[in-house]
Amino acid sequence: MTRQKILITGASSGLGEEMARRFAAMGRDLALCARRVDRLEAVRDELRTSAPGITVAIAPLDVTDHDAVVRVFSELRDELGGLDRVIVNAGLGKGAKIGTGKAAANLATAQTNFVGALSQAEAALEIFRAQKFGHLVLVSSVSASRGLPGSKAAYSASKAGVSALGEALDIELSGTKIVVTTLLPGYIATDMSAGAGDTGPLLATLDEGVSAMVSAIEKESTRVPLPGLKWRGIDAALRFLPTEVTRRFA
């Protein structure tokens, strides 16, 4: 089926903003959430100009506030006249070496990336279970495949939680009309990846990365490292090679 009514969190910049553009070009109706209202309004106005036939609803949202997540998802569902797909994309890339007195960055990352994702899954699946169909998309990371040291430890741990959540829900909902997709992006050029220091030949452009993400979402694949075969290989190496080997790449 065509997932016509799509909710995207973290839609004010980066991957979420670019996914919104791609789905708008496909003629999909969109509900966009983020903390930065001014950026959401700019994205909404842009999409209404580029795709005047679609509906674009927006709402400010902090995904670490569970009551707000439930309320906003419900309100946006009503504004769009239903929800076919929810893309759990909001994330944080802060981090510091654990035990160096900078716990606030690591705790904020864990709270946003995992607890926030769980909160969004709760709200989305409450809607999907009631209507007996839907597509839940969780944006994890290839870093979920093996714990990363140093400043990325909390980030990789939080994304491992997202991946495990996606796997559990996929198993639970198998045989129903509720589909779960977990995306594991590698290095994709965004403001967040730049802040995390992701550089080098493995860094994909935003266009390349989001093209792969949208393709996997539309296929409703189960678990997808991306973009390209190189990240599937890296994911397999991180998951299955002995620690004695993978620690050399840290």
pLDDT of residue 233: 95
Q: What is the pLDDT of residue 176?
A: 98
Nearest CA to 239 out of 164, 180, 188, 154 is that of 164
SS3 43: helix
Count of structural domains within the chain:
1
Catalytic residue among 23, 73, 128, 155: 155
pLDDT for position 197: 60
Does the active-site annotation cover 187? no
- Across the 250 residues of the chain, what is the mean pLDDT of every consecutive 10-residue run? 96 97 98 97 98 98 98 98 98 95 97 98 98 98 94 96 98 98 95 63 93 98 96 93 72
Here the CATH number for the domain that contains residue 13 is 3.40.50.720
Give the Cα separation of 149 and 73 in Å (integer): 35
The amino acid occupying position 201 is P
pLDDT at res. 135? 98
Residue 249: what pLDDT? 56
- Domain with 164, as residue range(s), is 5-249
CB atoms within 10 A of CB 161: 18
* pLDDT value at residue 230: 94
- Within 10 Å of residue 81's Cβ, how many Cβ atoms? 10
Burial environment of residue 229 by CB neighbours within 10 A (0 to 12, 13 to 18, 19 or more): exposed
Q: Where are the alpha helices (DSSP H) in the chain?
A: 14-25, 37-50, 66-80, 103-110, 116-131, 153-173, 191-195, 206-219, 228-240, 243-246
- 10 Å CB burial of residue 145 (0-12, 13-18, 19+) is buried
**In what side-by-side order are the strands of the sheet with 5-9?**
56-60, 29-34, 5-9, 85-88, 134-139, 178-185, 223-226
